[in-house]
Amino acid sequence: MQHWIRILNIKLGWIQDFSKIIVKYITNFFIFELFYSSSKLLNTFTGHRDCVNSIDYSTSNNNQFICSGSNDNKVYVWDIKDSKQVQSFNKHLSSVYCVKFSQYHDYNNSRSVICSSSHDKTIRFWDTKNNQQLQIFNGHTGGVYGIEFSSFNGGRYLCSGSGDDTIRLWDIEISKSLHVFNGHTHFVWCVDISPLQGNNKNDNDKDNNIGIIGGNGYTICSGSYDKTIRIWDIETTKQLIIFNGHEDYVRSVKYGSNELVNTILSGSNDKSVRLCDIRSGQQIQVFNGHKYAVFAVEYSPFVVKNIEVCGNSYVICSGSSDNTIRFWDIRSNKKELHLIEGDNEDNGIYCLKFLQLKKNRKNNNDIGSCINLCYGSRKGLIHILGIISKNIF
């Protein structure tokens, strides 16, 4: 272990601007070899009767919860520790494509609220404590697919992508659509908002924010059935960059953070995972290996030793309808680092989420948490993989 601690101090070296790792971020990274050599199936949640399209994770009062959205039109909430379903919301009239725990309600009201988007053209907010619907957003004229909360202003703003070929930005506080982003020529399947800027130490202090909504410098990233990835200025709605390269529908887009803040990761029906550099406007890596569509991509919290560059690399992760989860060295487009095959009952991996589950600390050197991977499948099952700990389950 001391060897790996020393390794974490080696320069990253992939892109010049990324060459120096910041000490305060080191504890956020975990050694990949330890995960894949020791991880096991920890839990399986059953209840959904169709494909699980989305999962999210939250902690509240020392409890740990997962929420999920499915083609069975339902939103479920699961207690990880007790391994059971604790809430069900069933007012959507069609498939639920995305679910997120609301940062806005948690910060402002200390309420556990879930936001969900659906093919029924609505976005709904659910109070998990009182088991009721709080808000409903209407405005899209097509199904609503991906949603994401703003990283600034305490998550007050929500963006959504739709089958009406548009992106909308909503103000949750006043329940109003603020902006409509036009430019895509087909369904907008996935969206993301750029991460909190490092120079904004208090993202909830509105006096320190510039622009109409306090989002100056922030952008939205969108992936579409028109095979493009686009970046938009969140204040002006201006389209800034178009990434071409995918040869089929774009199913997942993610902004990087910390040293990778200027990158975008994407997955597509063309079976590939791609990495783009926002500053140059160019695609810089293609990862091939999946046999069918890639529905989910994630930047993992893992690092791996890369012999070719004499340093560490970040690890990315992808889930596919070929029923596999694959891990890749972000600086190498060679064969995947590791492959996890889903159960025969899964029939495809449609969403992924890394969970930093809490555990009881044994001593002062124990960080008190470990990384687990949660994924949802085509057949409605939700699994958690990780390192077995009696203090968690």
Q: What's the CATH number for 2-387? A: 2.130.10.10
Distance separating alpha carbons of residues 336 and 322, to the nearest angstrom: 15
φ, ψ of residue 75 to 5 degrees: the values are -115, 125
Tokens linked to 173? 């506080």
Token representation of residue 202: 């208090």
Contacts of 346 (CB under 8 A, 6+ apart): 323, 377, 378, 379, 381, 383
Look at residue 198 in the predicted model and tell me its pLDDT.
64
- Burial group, residue 188, by CB count within 10 angstroms (0-12, 13-18, 19+): buried
Strands 294-306 and 30-31: parallel
Domain positions in the chain = 2-387
294-306 and 282-287 beta bridge pairing: unpaired
pLDDT reported for residue 223: 98
Which pTM does this prediction carry? Answer: 0.86
Q: In angstroms, rounded to a whole number, what is the distance separating the alpha carbons of residues 318 and 6? A: 29
C-alpha R_g of the chain: 20
Q: Is 245 left (phi over 0), alpha (psi -120 to 50) or beta?
A: left
Written as tens digits, the pLDDT of the chain (393 aa) is 333 333 333 333 333 443 333 223 334 557 888 887 888 999 999 999 999 999 999 987 678 999 999 999 999 999 998 889 999 999 999 999 999 999 999 888 888 999 999 999 999 999 998 999 999 999 999 999 999 999 999 999 999 999 999 999 999 999 999 999 999 999 999 999 999 876 544 444 444 455 667 778 899 999 999 999 999 999 999 999 999 999 999 999 999 988 899 999 999 999 999 999 999 999 999 999 999 999 999 999 988 876 565 567 799 999 999 999 999 999 887 789 999 999 989 999 999 999 987 665 444 444 445 889 999 999 999 999 986 544 444
CA distance 273 to 275: 7
Phi, psi of 27, rounded to the nearest 5 degrees: -70, -10
Count of other CB atoms within 10 angstroms of residue 300: 21
Beta pairing partners, 84? 79
Residue 52's CB is within 10 A of a number of other CB atoms, namely 28
The SS3 of residue 238 is: coil
Q: How far is 67 from 83, CA to CA, in rounded Å?
A: 13
d(CA 158, CA 115): 10
Angle (CA) 148-154-159 rounded to 5° is 25
Measured in residues, the chain has a length of 393
